Structure 1
Amino acid sequence: MTDTLARTPLHALHLELGAKMVPFAGYDMPVQYPEGVMAEHLHARTKAGLFDVSHMGQLAIRAKSGVTRDAALALETLVPADIAALGAGRQRYALLMNDAGGIRDDLMVANMGDWLLVVVNAACKDADAAHIESSLADTCTVERLDDRALLALQGPASEVALATLAPAVSAMRFMDVIATEVAGVPCIVSRSGYTGEDGFEIGMPAERADHVARAILALPDVRPIGLGARDSLRLEAGLCLYGSDIDTTTTPVEAALEWSMQKSRKAGGAREGGYPGADVVLGQLANGAPRRRVGLRAEGRAPVRGGAALFADAQGARQIGVVTSGAFGPTVGAPVAMGYVDTALAQPGTSVFAELRGRFVPMQVAAMPFVTPGFKR
C-alpha cells in the first residue's frame, strides 16, 4: 500500500527519526515519533514542535493585468473573505464555496506584493487547483507550486528558536508573511499555524527542505511532531478539520465561521455577496442556520469520537446532532470534542447525550477554544 502513496521531501528524515508512518490524504505521513502522541502534544504546547505539512497544496495566483488587487477581486468571486483589503505581507483565512453555500475547502491566502499565495488542504488540492484555474482563467494565471515544501514550527518557544536562523521573524505579528532566509535558504514565512499556539509556517524549495528541517530540529526546545498530536492540538484550539468538521454540505454560518467573512462582504458591504452560494450564506447571516458547530465536553476520561450521534435526552428519543471530531485533550486533561447540534441547543452549558457503544454518555456544550490561544497579536 505504501508503494502507491506519495511522499513528502522529508520522508527519509521521518524514517531516520523513527516515525510511525500512516496513509493520510494520499501521502505516507508520520503519525508519531518514538516519544508518542501525548509527549509530542505537550511539547508543542510548552516549547516548540516541527511539523511536516508538505502534503498541503500551494498555488500562486497572478492577475494578467499585473495588478494584485485584480487577482484579489477575482478570487473574491470564489470566497466570501475580503481579499482586496489584504495588505502586502499579510495573510487571511478564507473558504472556497459551492453553489449550495457549502464549503469546498478552507484555505489561507497571502498577499506577496505582486502575487497571491494560496495554501489548500492536501486531499482537496488537485480539485481546488482545477476549480480555481477554470474559474479565473479569463483574468488570472494559476500556478501549482508542486516543487515547494512546507514546514510548521509551533509553540511558545518558536520565535526564539527560529530567530536564531532567521532574525527577521522576531518582528512579525500574527498573520504577517515575509520572504526571508532560514538557515541560508530563501523561504516564505508566515506567522500562523494550526495549533492555537504562536508559531510559523515556512515554505521553501523542496530540494532544500531536508537542510532547513535539520537546522530547525537542531535548535534547543524543538522536536518533531506527527499527525496524531497535530489533530489533538487543533481540536483543543477549536480549529476545523476539512472533511470532518466542515465539508461541501456545511455552510460558514453553520460552522460558526462568520468571523472569516469581513464586513465588506456581508449585507450592506461594499462588495456584498458575489461568490457561489452567497444567497444561502447571506440568508443565514440574517435569519440564522438550523444547526451550529459547538464545542463539547464529556464526563470521565473516555473520548467521544467523530460520528457519534447526539441526543437531547438520555433515552435517545430525539437526535439533535452529531460529533465530528473527538479526542482526549492532553492540555485540558479531559476529553474534548466538537460537532453540530440544533441551533436552539448551541448555548454553552446545554446538556446533550452522545451514543457510545449502546449507552448514552452525558456531554455539555462548551465554549471554544478549549485552550487560550498563544498568537502574537
Structure 2
Amino acid sequence: MLVRDESPLKRTPLHALHVARGGKMVPFAGYEMPVQYPAGVLKEHLHTRSAAGLFDVSHMGQLALQAKSGKFEDAALALERLVPQDIVAVPPGRQRYAQFTKDDGGILDDLMVANFGDHLFLVVNAACKTEDEAHLRAHLSETCVIDSLSQRALIALQGPKAESALAKLCAGVSAMRFMDSGPRQVAGFDCFVSRSGYTGEDGFEISVPAEHAEALVTALLDNADVLPIGLGARDSLRLEAGLCLYGHDIDTTTTPVEGALEWSVQKSRRAGGARAGGFPGAEKILSQFEKGASRRRVGLRAQGRAPVREGAPLFVDSASSEAIGKVTSGGFGPSLNTPLAMGYLPTALAENGTQVFAEVRGQRLPLQVAAMPFVPNTYKR
C-alpha cells in the first residue's frame, strides 16, 4: 500500500522576503524555494554572469566537526576515514571539495570542508543532510563532537560584481582568494564567508545566524548590481560551469573516477601516498585510478537547437538499438545560446569531439563530446 507523504514543506529564514519580491515558490528537497523571480530565468542567469546574483541556499546542511581532543589534525584524520580527500593538508582559513563514499566506491554525497582552526566546518546537500549527519555520528562520535548548525542561513553572492557588492559590507573581503573560508563580520553580523560558489563565477557563500539573514540580504539587495536569483538560473549556471548535481550527475552508483572528479583526490590519498586508502570504497576507487573506469562523465554540446534533458538515452549512431549511456543533466545554456548536457559514456567514447546521438521523443539528435566547463570559470585565485 502506498503511503502519501503529507509532511509540510519547510521554509528557509528568507521565505517572506522571497514572496515579497515576487518569487515563484516550488517544492525542492523538502523546502519551499523560489524557482524564479519576475525577471525570469534567462535574465537572472545573464545578470549573474554580468553583475551579481544573490541565491538563498539555506536548505543546505551546515555542520561543525570537532575532535574531542581539541586538535584539528584529529578531526581531519577522523573525517578522512569517510572521504578520499586529504583533509589534514587543508590550511587554516581554506576549504576543500570532498565526497562521502560507500564501501563499493559509490558517492553518498558531495560536500565542502573548511578548516576553522580548532574545528571543521562542513556544508552538505539539502536532500542528504539528515543522512549525512547520521553517517558522521555513526562513524565518528567516539572521537568527535558533531554539531548541526541548523539555526544558520546560507546565501550565495555570485558574479563579477560580487566582490564590490560584498566589500561595502565586509572589510577585507577583497583580499580573499578562491576557496578561502572563515569567520567574517558582514554588515555588523558574525558570519562565515567563503570565496566559492556553484556558478563558475567569482563569488562568495555567507553563513549567517538565521535571525539576521533577512537584514543581511536586504542590505545586499539595496545594491543595484545585485538581483535575487532562483533555482532555475542556479541550475543553468552550474550546467554551463560543468558542475555536478548530486542525485543526477553523481550518486551512489558512480565513483569519483567515473564522475571525472579525479582532481579532487589528492596524491597523498592515492596508491603510494602518505595516507593512501583508508576510506570507504578505496579498493575500487584506487584501482580505477590505476586501470581506468569503464565509463566517464562527459560534457555534451547539441548540434541543433533542441534541448536534451536528463534521462535521454545515448547511442553510438542514429540506428543502433542498444543504448551506450544516458544524459544526467541537460538544458539550454543562455550564455552560449545553445543546448548543453552532461552524461555518461563508455570511456572509449569519452574523447572530446566524439559524436553520439540522444533519443528525444523518438528522434535521434546528434551531440558532440565537449570539454567542460562550457563557460570558462572566473575564480579569483
Q: Tell me, yes or no, whether TM beats 0.5.
A: yes
Task: Please give the residue correspondences for 1:344-359 in structure 2 after superposition, counting only pairs within 5 Å.
Answer: 344-359=348-363
Segments of 4+ moved more than 3 angstroms: none
Distance (Å, rounded) in 2 between the aligned partners of 1:158 and 1:149: 19
Aligned to 1:229: 233
Q: Deviations over 1:23-70 (max 9, x none)?
A: 000000000000000000000001000000000000000000000110
User: Which of 8, 12, 26 is residue 8 of structure 1 equivalent to?
Assistant: 12
Q: Say what the alpha-carbon RMSD is for the aligned residues.
A: 1.0
Aligned to 1:83: 87
Structure 2 residues not aligned, in runs of 5+: none
Aligned to 2:244: 240
Aligned to 2:338: 334
User: Which of 285, 309, 324 is residue 328 of structure 2 equivalent to?
Assistant: 324
Distance (Å, rounded) in 2 between the aligned partners of 1:178 and 1:168: 12
2:130 partner SS = helix
Distance (Å, rounded) in 2 between the aligned partners of 1:247 and 1:178: 29
Matched pairs, number: 377
Distance (Å, rounded) in 2 between the aligned partners of 1:298 and 1:47: 28
Distance (Å, rounded) in 1 between the aligned partners of 2:141 and 2:7: 35
Q: Deviations over 1:117-162 (max 9, x none)?
A: 0000000000000001110011101001100100000000000110
Distance (Å, rounded) in 1 between the aligned partners of 2:6 and 2:177: 39
Task: Please give the residue correspondences for 1:16-95 in structure 2 after superposition, counting only pairs within 5 Å.
Answer: 16-95=20-99
1:319 partner SS = coil
User: Which of 257, 262, 267 is residue 271 of structure 2 equivalent to?
Assistant: 267
Report the CA distance between 1:178 and its aligned residue.
Answer: 2.4
Report the CA distance between 1:235 and its aligned residue.
Answer: 0.3
AA matched with 1:355 = E
Structure 1 residues not aligned, in runs of 5+: none
Q: Is the 8 A contact 1:150 1:204 kept in 2?
A: yes
2:260 partner SS = coil
Distance (Å, rounded) in 2 between the aligned partners of 1:355 and 1:212: 46
Distance (Å, rounded) in 1 between the aligned partners of 2:322 and 2:369: 17
Distance (Å, rounded) in 2 between the aligned partners of 1:168 and 1:188: 13
Aligned to 1:196: 200
Does structure 1 residue 286 correspond to structure 2 residue 290?
yes
Task: Please give the residue correspondences for 1:95-114 in structure 2 after superposition, counting only pairs within 5 Å.
Answer: 95-114=99-118
Q: What TM-score results when the alignment is normalised by the length of structure 1?
A: 0.99
Q: Is the 8 A contact 1:161 1:220 kept in 2?
A: no
Distance (Å, rounded) in 1 between the aligned partners of 2:281 and 2:159: 37
Distance (Å, rounded) in 2 between the aligned partners of 1:265 and 1:11: 42
**Identity in percent:** 67
Report the CA distance between 1:3 and its aligned residue.
Answer: 7.3
2:192 partner SS = strand
User: Which of 129, 136, 143 is residue 139 of structure 1 equivalent to?
Assistant: 143
